[in-house]
Amino acid sequence: MHYSANFVRSLGPAKKAEFIEGLTDREAAVLLYDWAFWARANQLAPTTDWRRWLILAGRGFGKTRTGAEWLRGEVEAGRVSRAALIGPTLHDARAVMVEGESGLLAISPPWNRPHYEPSKKRLSWPNGACAYLYSAEEPERLRGPQHDAAWCDELCAWREGEATWDNLQFGLRLGADPRVVITTTPKPQALLKAIMMAEGTHVTKGSTYDNMANLAPAFADEVISRYDGTRLGRQELLAEILEDVPGALWSRTLIEETRVRRAPELGRIVIGVDPPMSAGADADECGIVAAGLASDHSGHAYVVADESARGLSPLGWARRAVTLYHRLQADRIVVEVNQGGALVPGLIAQVDESVAVTAVHASRGKHARAEPVAALYERGLVHHAGAYPALEDQMATYTGEGAASPDRMDALVWALTNLMLTRATPPRIRTL
């Protein structure tokens, strides 16, 4: 029989004392670092086949300890030789995953504790295995290195989530069975949903309440009593994925219910462009979204492309928009000119002066401009042909209050406004 901490707790005082007193000093030392003894059932790795172990749990569940203990066990078993440790920032990776009270240094036994070299962002174990720290703010750092395992912490707080995750996948090419453990409090994000739905993902769910015996009483008195039952509490304590944001003009449910696999024949196609105020890596995204009206005169529109991108130069985004224009045989590019004035359509003309361009000036705020377009969705008149995760994240979370600039959403609004809410010019003749 395998004893566990919960089993020992369930014994009467006499049996409990007998168990503890029967341990030798060596047995007690080993037991102190025996994760299988201390862990709850939902903190132990699945016994079924899996490539990704996704742990969705509330604050205080023990996610960090679970991730650290899994990696320690894999290293000690000789199944991992080169691992990636990825946090939202390098500081998070070091302070939580390595040096935290549940991090790798704290949970490792003295006889097998890794050596940490901050300057090299590297942990080295006595058996030669290594783990390297990475930040989700710098996904390109994962472009070259190879790994046979990875521990990704707080994935839903990653700034460059998709790029970081993609680069990690390309580097998981060492060993016979590279695996990833993801420990995070969930948020309604497209990347998280994609990982959950992917073949080979095992999902473990847990809440703050699972670990109440190990949390400070003040936490229960102040935090849980304040947030229990609220939307924030359901997300942060119960680890529920809350699909819709109060006050957002769109709901994820609405977008999903009106989605189609592919668009029908389109009679008119417009590309909306929301240029960034500046250029460079730190600039806002340039929103570039295409939508078209069904040729059957039903009045239904279909979103057919999202080519938005960050870090483009002015000519760079103009070329990107023109390329999409020709690929879709579109009728018009609608571009906002609040920041660049007459120079903005001029950039497109530099790339291709034959492109039809409509310059629009935003006289109202983004939220006010988006409301009539959101109403079209509610009437079932707009459909997404395929999935556009980054665009849909902006749509379903933008409330107009303190949010980041929703450039993809704004480009969508310009395209659909021109298609459905203004008097349109006749579509140009296209050869399909």
User: Can you read off the two tokens belonging to residue 16?
Assistant: 């409990």
Position 70, amino acid: W
Distances (CA, A) of 220 to 197, 217, 227: 33, 5, 10
Q: State percent of the chain over pLDDT 90.
A: 57
Q: State percent of the chain over pLDDT 70.
A: 87
pTM above 0.75, yes or no: no
Tens digits of per-residue pLDDT, 389-423?
A: 889 889 988 887 655 678 999 999 999 999 999 86
User: Can you read off the two tokens belonging to residue 171?
Assistant: 């580097």
Task: Give 293's contacts (C-beta < 8 A, 6+ positions apart).
Answer: 266, 267, 268, 269, 299, 300, 301, 302, 419, 420
Residue 140 has pLDDT above 50, yes or no: yes
In terms of pLDDT, which residue wins out, 8 or 133? 133
Report CA 326 to chain centroid distance, whole Å: 32
Is residue 432 very low, low, confident or very high in pLDDT (cuts 50, 70, 90)? very low
Residue 294 has pLDDT above 70, yes or no: yes
- Domains of the chain, each with CATH number or no CATH: 1-32 (no CATH), 40-236 (3.40.50.300), 252-420 (3.30.420.240)
Q: Provide mean pLDDT across the span 353-357.
A: 93
